[in-house]
Amino acid sequence: MVYIVLPNSMHHEFTLRAAKAGKHVFCEKPMANSAKDCREMIAACVAANRQLGIGYRCRFELHHREAIRFAREQVFGPLQHVDAGFGFAIGDPKQWRLRKNLAGGGALMDVGVYALQACRYLAGEEPLEVVALETKTDPVIAATA
């Protein structure tokens, strides 16, 4: 079985190409920059009878699995609230993460998905609402983004 790993900015286009060529596809997250693109990628792989996988490792890491078990078994009582966040020093102000045409949904799609997924798998439920806040503290990056 051959898998093709694609750079983030090429997921949609190259998934369609790979499916048409009869290849299975494995993309890093985020899957694509829009729900429409995601649906097209899924449809192309289904039509070609090919597998489409998205690289989201956290759900399978041991410490995440243990946190899920704690929540589901109510080891510390029923889950009442999850407040999740993610932050890091972004580095080069010219990188793809800061370019909307390449990064799509910005910080939420890039690293916010980790906080969102943690809420989903800890609660075992889908969110009714998602609110995100992106802050850039580096004045050079804030000015160019």
Spot the catalytic one: 94, 100, 114, 136. 114
The beta strand positions in the chain, using DSSP E, are 3-6, 24-28, 52-55
Catalytic residue among 3, 23, 29, 36: 29
Residue 94 annotated as catalytic? no
Is the preceding omega at residue 93 within 30 degrees of 0, hence cis?
A: no
Is-catalytic flag, 136?
A: no
Question: CB under 8 Å to 87, separation ≥6 — which residues?
Answer: none
The half-sphere exposure of 45 on its side-chain side, counting CA atoms within 13 A, is 22
Catalytic residues: 29, 114
